[in-house]
Amino acid sequence: MARAKTNDVPRRSSRSLSAIIRANVLTLFNFVIGVLWALILIFGEWQDSLFGLVIVANALIGIVQEVRAKRTLDKLAVINEAPVRVRRDGREQEIPPRQVVLGDLILLGSGDRLLVDGEVVQSDGLEVDESLLTGEADPVHKRVGDQVLSGSFAVAGAGAFVATKVGTDAYAVKLAEEASKFHLAHSELRAGVANFIKYITWLVIPIGALLIYSQVSNSVDFGTAITGAVAGIVTMIPEGLVLMTSIAFAVGVIRLGRRKCLVQELPAIEGLARVDVLCLDKTGTLTAGGMELDEVLPLRDDRPVDAALAALANLDDQPNATAQAIRARYPAAGDGWAARETVPFSSARKWSGADFGEHGTWVLGAPDVLLDGGDGYDRAAELAATGARVLALCRADTLPATANGSTPGRPSTTDHGHAATDPGHAALEPVALVTLKQRIRPDAQETLRYFAKQGVTVKVISGDNPEAVSAIATSLGIPDGHRSIDARILPEDDQDKLGELLDSHAVFGRVSPQQKRQFVTALQARGHTVAMTGDGVNDVLALKDADLGIAMGAGSPATKAVAQVVLLDDKFATLPHVVGEGRRVLANIERVANLFLTKTFYAIVLSMVVGVAGVMFPFAPRHSTLVNALTIGIPALFLALAPTLERSRPGFVPRVLRFAVPAGVLCAVAVLLSFWAAHSKTSTLVQDQTAAVIALFLTTWWVLVLIARPLNWWRVALVGSMAVAFGIGLTLPFVRAFFALEPGGIRNELIAVGIAVAAAAAISIAVKVAGTLRT
């Protein structure tokens, strides 16, 4: 490590502390508010500069929350990193990925992800899937001397390669250097907030200039003019919206982290809320990891069934779950059962085999793939219908030739989903059936019931026998679980027909890795937001293409590497919490956006009217600080973190505008009417502004009530306490003096209250017509 370059690459789940500080401090809004703050300190009264403390608080809160999220992500990312097997000084050992150095000899097995580039020096039927890099669907057979690239993954066989490019020099790292950088969110939500900020910025410049000119031209006191102009400009800026969005995402990450759920890409938080179809792989998701050998049922009495099973199970140094289950009963191969030639298992082939010389050639795999009718085929189907996993052990004269996805013994036909090649079919003799026990997760049924209540459709997509998958789906109460489809008969080129079948059925068996990917694409084409869970290497492509990829913690390294969310403790029951957290974040950010943008729009209307009319601004910055704190700032912090079960809907920006524009305009009308109604020859500017502030508080407080719906005890307590706090502020002399509140008599106050009540009623009608209320 001291002499050679190490595999040091940035984690995609986190960004540096300096980047976090820059993102929270060096913003356009902070710069604008900072300049206005300085103007007030120079020309106005210090009480009117309280709004400047908001940017300090925003920055500090944002930094603290994001640093907390960063620490959580970094800790979980370390747990999630699969160790790399290397051979150093003649000894095999496991090391963290970042300790791989140039020249290391790296060992590969099925399911391993390639983290660095290299040259193959050993290949035992090694097949590598490079589709994530090249788009090529078929696995590539790798021989000694071939190059392998980071970002690909082993799907069959075993081998070793020497690292030739590591760290930022590796192929996949160069490709993904920008795309894999940490980002707070790149989504409809984040894009919507960014668009709001962009357009508001363009509005603030001309309206702010008009307001400054108007206030300076129509005031004998330059300090008062600057104070009025600053009050309008500051109120136009939704300075807390980005903060609340950041906090909601960061707290979501921390909450999920406590449940051992790693969010590798923060946009996944939004994906969680939008999911309406959940595709589940049976093995490792609905059933617990690992299997147990149940029965070996000979179909012939004159064949060495036990010896053949023992030899096949002990071929691979890194056995898959099936081989591990058989190896538990047959821990070692018999004497003389050395393999001359092997074909490793792959999800595309669904079988493995070996030539054992004088003992013959043996193949182990799916009965409906290896057997073509007969008693063995029918018996296997009966066993599969009970939910058992069934394998067929067959003997052949020669080891069947292979060609990506080819099948021995049965013709390869495009109608059945096999590659249209002719590998040279071998005649297979059924010798025995092997059944494996799979344990259904105890939390599976309750979790599936949750998704049904939440309107999320579940699709079970498995490479296993359709009858076996259907039996498990039915036992778990999945709707239409008894109507399974064999994926080999599905159309390959007719996307519309495939989509119709996916919509009308819930259980699919014998699904190839490429078909899983096609399923996701077809569902997305029909307008669905698709989440895919999986743990095996055959799930990688589908996880990558899904709107939300969820990997199980015990899954293959390749699966965990491409997923946006990893359930580190391997608990299927964590999924409802994952979905619930996403819904909480999006629904609450929409509420908060309604609050902040209502403020922005009433400030824009007030600034334009005041600027054109050439009158004084109806309130001072300290007034806006008080009202905003009680109707937006404090409530928004609680609302942004509140629990909710609402599923997110597309159309975030139009919905917010349909609420905020009419509400903001009506608030501005109420403020102006109250300000002008209170004005008389004997009234002071402070008294006129006080009437306007009362109307402003009451109308914006009513907006808060509407946004907080549906009301429960704590939300009633929240909005009620804000009203009490404002009432106390009007009552206590020192608070009135600090915030420059001077009631001008009962007449002015009653007029302001009456106007505010009428405006509140109008706001209720307007937003109801717009159809934006969440009831």
The catalytic residues are 281
Distance (Å, rounded) from C-alpha 294 to C-alpha 286?
A: 19
Judge contact between 567 and 584, C-beta under 8 A.
no
Are 323 and 342 in contact, with CB atoms under 8 Å apart? no
Q: Which two tokens stand for residue 726?
A: 């404002």
**DSSP 8-state class, residue 507:** E
Quote the tokens at residue 682.
Answer: 């004997």
Distance, in Å, from the CA atom of 386 to the CA atom of 379, rounded to the nearest integer, reads: 11
Residue 255, both tokens: 């909450």
In 3-state terms, the chain is what percent helix, strand and coil (to 5)? 55, 15, 30
Q: State residue 364 phi and psi, 5-degree precision.
A: -130, 125
Bridge partners, 296 (sequence order): 434
- Looking at residue 744, the DSSP 8-state letter turns out to be -
* Nearest by Cα to 739 from 629, 652, 610, 644: 629
Q: Count of CB atoms within 10 A of residue 143's CB?
A: 10
456: left (phi over 0), alpha (psi -120 to 50) or beta: beta
Q: Which residues contact 238 (CB under 8 A, 6 or more apart)?
A: 196, 197, 200, 596, 597, 599, 600
- Cβ atoms within 10 Å, residue 103: 13
Residues 6+ apart with CB under 8 A from 476: 286, 440, 444, 445, 448
Distance of CA 96 to the CA centre of its chain: 26
Burial class, 445, CB count within 10 angstroms (exposed 0-12 / middle 13-18 / buried 19+): middle
As given in the structure block, the two tokens for residue 574 are 């964590």
Is it true that the peptide bond before 710 is cis, omega within 30 degrees of 0? Answer: yes
Please tell me the distance from the alpha carbon of residue 716 to that of residue 713, in angstroms, as a whole number.
5
Query: How many angstroms separate the CA atoms of 154 and 156, rounded?
Result: 6
Residues 6+ apart with CB under 8 A from 232: 207, 208, 211, 603, 606, 607, 610, 617
Q: Are strands 117-129 and 153-165 parallel, antiparallel or unpaired?
A: antiparallel
Residue 155 corresponds to which tokens in the numbers above? Answer: 């799907």
Residues 6+ apart with CB under 8 A from 436: 291, 292, 293, 294, 322, 325, 388, 389, 390, 391
Beta bridge partners of 140: 128
What is the C-alpha separation between 670 and 237, in angstroms, rounded?
20
Tokens of 599: 């403020």
- Pick from 392, 402, 391, 457: which is nearest to 426 by CA? 402
φ, ψ of residue 619 in degrees (nearest 5): -155, 165
**Nearest to 607, CA basis, from 665, 684, 533:** 665
Lookup: tokens for 66: 């994001």
**Which residues partner with 432 through β-bridges?**
298, 393
Q: How far apart are CA 709 and CA 732, in angstroms?
A: 31
